[in-house]
Amino acid sequence: MLKIKLHQSTPNPLQINLECNSGELHALVGPSGSGKTSVLRTIAGLNTAQFGSVVCNDETWFEADETQGVLRNLPAAERCCGFLFQQYALFPHLKAIDNVAIPLQNSGLSSEARKKIAVNWLDRMGIGDLVDRMPHQLSGGQQQRVALARALAREPKILLLDEPFSAIDAPTRQGLYRTLADLRKDLNIPIILVTHDLREADLLADRITVIDQGISLQTAPPQVLFQRPRNSRVAALVGISNIYQGVFNAGNLSWHGCEQTFSVADKGKIPPDSKVAWVIPQKGLSVHDTATAASVQAIVTRISSLGQIAVIQLQIQNSENVIEWEASAAEVKRLRMEVGSLMHIELDSAQIHIMPLRPINDPRRFIGQTQ
C-alpha cells in the first residue's frame, strides 16, 4: 500500500492526501498546472514537499513536519519506483534491450542475467522480436512498451504513470490499456496514473482523485465521482455540463431562474432554505417532441454532431438556463430536431445530486492563501 500526505504553501500550494492499495490503479485528474505531475515527482523523490509523508508498504520514504523539518528523505534511487514518462525518455543510442536493462546496472547481476530479464519484459510487452531495434526504428506505441518494460525491469514497489498514453493514436492506446490491465493482475503493486483524459480514468481507475491548484478536492470510485461530485468545482472539472443553482428546503428543490421545482430525497445534511448547487447526469434527462405532465418547454439553440452522437443545447423557455443533452443521430432525426425547434424536457428528480454552495473557485483557501 502507498500512503501519501503532502503539504506545502510555497512556491506552489500543495495539499494531497491519498492511499493506493496493492493491485489498485489510482488516477489523478485535473487541469494543466494543477500539480498532478508534481505529486508523482514527490513520490519518486525528484521533488521535496515542505512537510508530510510518503509511506510504501510500511517503509517511510519521506517524512517532514512543520517544527522539525525533514526527518527522512530517501534518495530517488533507493525508492524502487517504476516511472513511465509521457515522452518515453528512451536513450536514442541504445537498442530496446539495452534501454530496458539500464535500471539493472547496479543490481549486482551479470550482463547476461540483465539481458535475460530485459528480453523477458519485452516479451511480456508483446515486442520480444524487437529487442535489437533502436528507438527511432520503433513506432510511438512500441517505444512506450519499451519504456514500460524498463519501468518494471527492477520489480518496483510502485508504478507511476505520467500521461503515458497521450501521444499515442487511439488503436495503439487501446492495446496498451489491455497490456496494463493484464499486468495489474500479476504485479499486485500500487499504480498511480496521471491523466487529463477523463474517459481514460473512468476506464482504467479503481479510484480517482481530482486535483485543482495543488489541492485534492475529492477521491472516489469513478461511478461515484461522475454521479455525485462533492461540489460544483469538482463537477466542472470532471466534465459535468448541467450544473445549476437553487434553494433546497426539506426535500423540495427550486431551480434558480426557472419555475420548475423537484422533490429530492433529503438525507438531513443540508439545513432548511439552503442555497445549493445541483447537477443531473445524462441518464436523468429525456427529451420529447410533445408535452408530458412533468416536462418543461425548451428551444434548441445548438446541435453539434460528432459522428453518430450529437450534443444538443436547449434553453428553457422564460429562463436563461441551458441544458446539454447527448443523443444518437437517429434520435435527433426521429424527433425532427433542428435549431429553433420547440422540445419538451423531463428531468428525473431521482437522478439529481445536490451539493452545498460554497466559495470553491479558489481551493488555496484550504491552506490559508487568498487569490
Around Cβ 334, how many Cβ atoms within 10 Å? 11
The fold adopted by the segment(s) 281-347 is OB fold (Dihydrolipoamide Acetyltransferase, E2P) (2.40.50)
Around Cβ 161, how many Cβ atoms within 10 Å? 24
**pLDDT at residue 125 is higher than 80:** yes
Average pLDDT over residues 254-270: 85
pLDDT in the model for residue 371? 34
- pLDDT tier at 86, thresholds 50, 70, 90: confident
* Calpha distance 187→184 (Å, rounded): 5
- Give the strand order in the sheet containing 207-212: 69-73, 59-65, 51-56, 2-8, 14-20, 215-220, 207-212, 25-29, 191-194, 158-162, 81-84
Instruction: Please give the distance of CA 240 from its chain centroid, rounded to a whole number.
Output: 14
Tens digit of pLDDT for each residue in 37-77? 999 999 999 998 999 999 999 999 999 998 898 999 999 98
pLDDT in the model for residue 248? 93
More confident residue, 306 or 48: 48
pLDDT in the model for residue 366? 45
**pLDDT at residue 220 is higher than 70:** yes
What percent of the chain lies above the pLDDT cut of 90? 65
* Calpha distance 30→233 (Å, rounded): 11
The architecture of the domain spanning 2-227 is 3-Layer(aba) Sandwich (3.40)
More confident residue, 268 or 89: 89
More confident residue, 336 or 107: 336
What number of residues does the chain have?
A: 371
* Calpha distance 201→164 (Å, rounded): 12
Q: Where exactly are the structural domains of the chain? A: 2-227, 236-279+349-371, 281-347
**pLDDT at residue 360 is higher than 50:** no
More confident residue, 327 or 86: 327
- pLDDT tier at 365, thresholds 50, 70, 90: very low
**pLDDT at residue 327 is higher than 90:** yes
**pLDDT at residue 362 is higher than 50:** no
Angle, CA of 138, 142 and 147, to the nearest 5°: 110
Instruction: Assess whether the region 2-227 and the region 281-347 belong to the same CATH fold.
Output: no
**pLDDT at residue 254 is higher than 60:** yes
pLDDT in the model for residue 361? 45
**Quick one: cell of 96?**
530496446
Average pLDDT over residues 192-221: 93
* Calpha distance 246→256 (Å, rounded): 5
Average pLDDT over residues 79-108: 90
- pLDDT tier at 358, thresholds 50, 70, 90: low
